[in-house]
Amino acid sequence: MVTQIKLGDIAVDVVKKDIKNIHLSVHPPTGKVRISAPLRMDIDNIRVFAITKLDWIKNQQQKLCEQARETPREYLNRESHYVWGKRYLLTVFEDAQLSSVELKHQQMLLHVRPGTDVHKKQALVEDWYRAQLKQAVHPLIEKWEPLIGVKVKQFFVQRMKTKWGSCNSAAHSIRLNTDLAKKPQECLEYIVVHEMVHILEPTHNARFLGLMDQFMPKWQFYREMLNCLPVRHENWGY
């Protein structure tokens, strides 16, 4: 059940869950605010917590309003697509070959069967991005496991609307947004480290920030780089 509290002109959706810690998030594209709170926490204490975070909420909402957004993709010739931060121009071949995606020089070559519609083209390209990301993530996890001192038991790659990644600290598993394959590889490595550090510290408290400073001193630079890049055009449903 969702309860809504008001902080001036800001509406905050509150959901109580069987969790240990309170979690605040601001979601694109409009800056919708959501708090997940432990079942034991009463609404007055949740309101006080939200008030203490009001400046942060407003700052995040402003960033979302200013962030560039990708135009909807139509999967037509000479349309721009990005892989690891680099721009490629799409060339579509409607031929009898098996469907495939490949990069050649500054082009993304999409081979499809004649008559393939835009939704199928989109699915093919997104599956290709997912495969690229899976291939890139495995060596990063292997690199960082001994440095951070944790073991990632599973990782998942999926389309995510509101997060670049997430971590289940109890299960030692992480999830990563497929769109990270479009961003510079430094940004992917930052998100992988961020989620792996959450295995040690589930919340964004002072200990978490200290661990990030210890393992990746330039993490805030990579975070700002990622936040300045265009995000996927979506029909967001809330």
Residue for token digits 């469907």?
Answer: 99
Q: What are 48-62's pLDDT values in tens digits?
A: 999 999 999 998 888
pLDDT at 228 over 80: no
Contact criterion met (CB below 8 Å) for 169 and 151: no
Say if residue 17 is exposed, middle or buried (CB neighbours under 10 Å; 0-12, 13-18, 19+): exposed
From-to residues of CATH 3.30.2010.10 in the chain: 80-228
Q: Given the structure tokens 């490949």, which residue do they identify?
A: 102
Residue matched to tokens 């942060």: 56
pLDDT for 62:
82
pLDDT, tens digit (0-9, with 9 covering 90-100), for 176-221? 999 999 999 999 999 999 999 999 999 888 899 999 999 999 999 9
The CATH H-level (homologous superfamily) assignment of domain 80-228 is: Metalloproteases ("zincins"), catalytic domain (3.30.2010.10)
pLDDT of 87-121, one tens digit each? 999 999 998 678 999 999 999 999 999 999 999 99
Question: What pTM did the predictor assign?
Answer: 0.73
Q: What does the DSSP assignment read for 167-210?
A: EETTTTEEEEEGGGGGS-HHHHHHHHHHHHHHHH-SS-SHHHHH
pLDDT, one tens digit per residue, over 111-150 is: 999 999 999 999 999 999 999 999 999 999 999 999 999 9
